[in-house]
Structure 1
Amino acid sequence: MAVDDECKLKFLELKAKRNHRFIVFKIDEKIQQVAVEKVRGPEETYEDFANGLPADECRYAVYDFDFTTAENCQKSKIFFIAWAPDTSRVRSKMLYASSKD
């Protein structure tokens, strides 16, 4: 599975500059390539992210989660999410599962 250069570029921006809250990636089955579907800024919330995922299609996403530790330190973690709802096509679930690495 090929990965579009924009995917790598946007992820590096999120990782280094923290100028995105999340990035959603979609596999274009016709050309067998992972591409960026949407990018949202740091003002977005987790609810905005969760509500923006399709109810019947698979996606990959990267989410930058800000939190405060028990020692009152501000931290941030980047999570990779493989979204595969039960209502999506079996072929799509298999394609996303096999391409995750």
Structure 2
Amino acid sequence: MAGYREDWFNNNESNHGWYTCVRCGKKLRKGDVDIDHIIPQNKGGRHDLNNLQCMCKHCNRSKQDDFGIDNVRDYTKNVQKNTGKKIESLFKNKKR
């Protein structure tokens, strides 16, 4: 079974072999990419595609293990990108 890094690469196309850091915009080759957990694993983050993002090593190391509203925004943006649906639409048929 492939790890979360390979899962991310298998589900995200490159631009002719180049990937972009979500934080600084730097262009990277596959070997220079860190696949980062938006919600850290020690805060309950999982290896699913919605919780993973492409970062350069510098940005990933400098963010450390901070967790805040920006992480939630990044997570919801990834859900929208990967499912094609807004978060609200996933819950519109749920009864209260």
Q: Is the TM value for this pair above 0.5? A: no
Please identify which structure carries the higher helix content. Answer: 2
Bigger fraction of residues in strand: 1
Give the TM-score, by structure 1 length. Answer: 0.29
